[in-house]
Amino acid sequence: MRLLGKLWDGLVYLLLWAGGLTMLVPFFWMVATSLKAPGSVFDLPVELWPRELHLENYHRVLTAVPFGRWYLNSLIVALGLTFLNLTSGAMGGYAFARFRFRGQGALFLLFLATLMIPVHVLIIPLFILMRNLGWVDTYYALILPGLFDAFAIFLMRQHFLQLPRELEEAAIVDGATPWQIYWRVALPLAAPALATLGTFTFLAGWNSFLWPLIVTNSLEMRTLTVGLAVFQGQFSTEWTVLMAGLTLGTLPPILVFLLAQRYFIQGLTLGSLKG
Amino acid sequence: MRAYYRFPLLFLLPSLAGFLAFNLGPILLSLLLSFVSYDGLRPLSLETLREGWVGLENYRRLWEDPVFHKAFRNTLFYVGVAVPLEILLALLLALGLNRPWPGVRIVRTLYLLPAVTSVVAVGLLWRWVLNPTVGPVNLALRAVGGWLEALWRGVGLEAPGWVVWLATQGPGWLSDPAWAMWGVILASVWAGVGLRMLIFLAGLQSINREYLEAASLDGANAFQRFFYVTLPLLSPTVFLNVLLAMIGAFQVFGLVYTMTGGGPLDSTNVLMLYLYQKAFGVFPFEMGYASAIAWVLFLILFALTYLQWVLRRRWVLEEA
């Protein structure tokens, strides 16, 4: 019986490993294709890994479209969203955790209720708003709507509630203003929560698609996801080039994830289990 | 002390401004727009709203719009297949990956990698992976087919038609209306299962091991422990995971946009894509009509969430 159990466990682990490696096949296929000779991808039998590596696909994707600019846009948008979200989220969360004011409960509930509103209800009027402001095709439109995020406020509030009040009270006794207390005492202590929220927002920003698709229309203002999606037709005869672009575009989120895995996972599980 | 607790306005200013300008305002405007015929070209003012006012006309048109009906059915099909598949697979994975064994952390990461990849990358990548002639999916299916064919020949029989089909051709995936939605589902399960697995893992790790040990001492075998101890204790996590997966799946857009654009023959057109096409994709733009689609979709989501919330009492174990 013991032996049977061990065998069963071994089989399960083997299956999980096999499944995990199977998950990598599409990534492997992406990189392999990006290194094949242009135009050779439909040759039969199919080469799993190219015998000669063709790096010119990478050169071509960098020159055929404003790939560098798209890359930069994605970086600016992801970082901008992260910065805004952390700033407003931490400040809002602090207000809800530490201040008492009239209508506080109702306002918090109203903020939380926006989590129920799916993004698709917002995009049409938001687009109209952006156009009336003359912000279509600018970084303002791409970044500024990230100013409010109920989830960020909720997460930061939870964190500030857990901070011992005594730390701030000591600062009050020393005559610090609320802003000084927030900036010098509470915020530095919130570093782990900020890292969680930051990793999460950066990845979401880098990967976002629907809003950047709607609110940009010039070649120069596209983010990487939108650029590749819109221009896939141009590449559909050049799969090697498209896969080179995808490889380059997939690299940053995967790197960020591998470096900050702990924070990312915290954000996910916190958001889903307590949210 | 008192001064410290006053003047929260400074701290609330950014989020409050964002909330009013980019959330509450647009929600109200969206509701208003769904009663208006608006092409998005004229600047929007009270005047335009009044001139274009059509009352419930947009909603009535939805009722008779065959493409909307098709998108509606496709969305239900997608949600109904992708979500259960994802949840079941994720639960099995989480159970296996919850125990310490060599390489377990690496394997967890492997399953999670697609979850940090953008839907655009997933969609474009899978278009290529599902290529009927040279994609790895059909290469593998053809290999399996060839192997089955040899098996049949080995026992001296002629292989049935589907084996021959598998060995020589395989599904046409995204170019075939009968298969296209399955292709999208395959990609979405690949991309989403790691996230669901992670949430199950977090739920499993919050279960007190003493319950399981007590059950073991009482002579419960592995299956009994799972169905009578683990699963009930995990039920709040299952509830939440199903709810979140469902809400996400109803709003599927990027995958469909990049993989098929809704085709062939609208076989993968979903509500979000149809909304996008109406508001931004196909001239003349119909932003009022698209807003009506948005609100119908919202009402469905709201009703389903509410229903699940009510039904929750029947099967979700509440922690004391």
The string of pLDDT tens digits covering residues A190-205 is 998 999 899 989 999 9
Q: Mean pLDDT across the stretch B182-203?
A: 94
Q: Does A22 touch chain B (CB under 8 A)?
A: no
Residue B10: band (very low, low, confident or very high) from pLDDT cuts 50, 70, 90: confident
> Distance, in angstroms, between A61 CA and closest chain B CA?
15
CB contact under 8 Å between A23 and B114, yes or no, is: yes
Which residues is B36 bridged to in the sheet? B53
Nearest residue of B to residue A30, measured between CA atoms: B125
Least confidently predicted of A227-236, A244-253, B279-288: A227-236
pLDDT above 90: percentage of residues in chain B: 58
A264 CB-contact burial (10 Å; exposed 0-12 / middle 13-18 / buried 19+)? buried
Check pLDDT > 60 for residue B282: yes
Q: In the block, which residue shows the tokens 């466990």?
A: A9
Please say whether the beta carbons of B199 and A272 come within 8 A.
Answer: yes
**What is chain A's alpha carbon radius of gyration, rounded to the nearest angstrom?**
24
pLDDT of residue B1: 46
If one compares B100 and A247, the residue with the highest pLDDT of the two is: A247
pLDDT of residue A270: 66
Please say whether the beta carbons of A130 and A217 come within 8 A.
Answer: no
Q: Which residues 122-161 on chain A approach chain B with CB closer than 8 angstroms? A: 122-129, 132, 144-149, 153
> Distance, in angstroms, between B294 CA and closest chain A CA?
5
The string of pLDDT tens digits covering residues B70-87 is 999 999 999 999 999 999
Strand, helix or coil for residue B179: coil
> Distance, in angstroms, between A189 CA and closest chain B CA?
17
CB contact under 8 Å between B30 and A122, yes or no, is: yes
The string of pLDDT tens digits covering residues A60-98 is 999 888 999 999 999 999 999 999 999 999 999 999 998
* A209 → closest Cβ in B3, B120, B136: B120
pLDDT of residue A168: 83
pLDDT of residue B191: 94
pLDDT of residue B5: 54
Q: Does A210 touch chain B (CB under 8 A)?
A: yes
Q: Mean pLDDT across the stretch B295-313?
A: 90
B13-17 contact pairs (CB < 8 A, 24+): B13/A91, B14/A84, B14/A87, B14/A88, B14/A91, B14/A92, B14/A147, B14/A148, B15/A88, B15/A89, B15/A91, B15/A92, B15/A111, B15/A147, B15/A148, B15/A153, B16/A92, B17/A147, B17/A148
Q: Does B289 touch chain A (CB under 8 A)?
A: no
If one compares A235 and B309, the residue with the highest pLDDT of the two is: B309
Check pLDDT > 50 for residue A17: yes
pLDDT of residue A166: 85
* CA B237/CA B75 separation, integer angstroms: 25
Q: Which residues 211-250 on chain A approach chain B with CB closer than 8 angstroms? A: 213-214, 225-226, 228-229, 232, 239, 242-243, 246, 249-250
Check pLDDT > 70 for residue B242: yes
CB pairs A-B closer than 8 Å:
261
pLDDT of residue B7: 66
Domains and CATH numbers, chain A: 59-268 (1.10.3720.10)
Chain A residues within an 8 Å CB radius of B198? 265, 268-269
- What would the 3-class secondary structure string for chain A be? CHHHHHHHHHHHHHHHHHHHHHHHHHHHHHHHHHCCCCCCCCCCCCCCCCCCCCCHHHHHHHHHCCHHHHHHHHHHHHHHHHHHHHHHHHHHHHHHHHCCCCCHHHHHHHHHHHHHCCHHHHHHHHHHHHHHCCCCCCHHHHHHHHHCCHHHHHHHHHHHHHCCHHHHHHHHHCCCCHHHHHHHHHHHHCHHHHHHHHHHHHHHHHHCCHHHHHHCCCHHHCCHHHHHHHCHHHHCCCHHHHHHHHHHHHHHHHHHHHHCHHHHHHHHHHHHHCC
Please say whether the beta carbons of B199 and B241 come within 8 A.
Answer: yes
Q: Does A206 touch chain B (CB under 8 A)?
A: yes
Check pLDDT > 50 for residue B320: no
Q: Which residues 52-81 on chain A approach chain B with CB closer than 8 angstroms? A: none
Q: Does A175 touch chain B (CB under 8 A)?
A: no
DSSP B98-121: TS--TTHHHHHHHHHGGGGS-HHH
CB contact under 8 Å between B240 and A273, yes or no, is: yes
* Average confidence score pLDDT of chain B: 89
Check pLDDT > 80 for residue A236: no
> Distance, in angstroms, between B287 CA and closest chain A CA?
7
pLDDT of residue A120: 86
Q: Which residues 92-121 on chain B approach chain A with CB closer than 8 angstroms? A: 93, 96-97, 101-103, 106-107, 109-114, 116-121
* CA B308/CA B320 separation, integer angstroms: 21
pLDDT of residue A274: 43
pLDDT of residue B184: 96
Check pLDDT > 70 for residue A5: yes
pLDDT of residue B165: 87
Residue A170: band (very low, low, confident or very high) from pLDDT cuts 50, 70, 90: confident
Q: Does B283 touch chain A (CB under 8 A)?
A: no
Nearest residue of A to residue B24, measured between CA atoms: A114
Least confidently predicted of A34-38, A110-114, B44-48, B65-69: B44-48
Check pLDDT > 60 for residue B95: yes
Residue closest to A42 by CA, chosen among B184, B164, B139? B139
pLDDT above 90: percentage of residues in chain A: 53
Please say whether the beta carbons of A122 and A156 come within 8 A.
Answer: no
Q: Which residues 166-195 on chain B approach chain A with CB closer than 8 angstroms? A: 190, 194-195
Q: Which two tokens stand for residue B271?
A: 């509500």
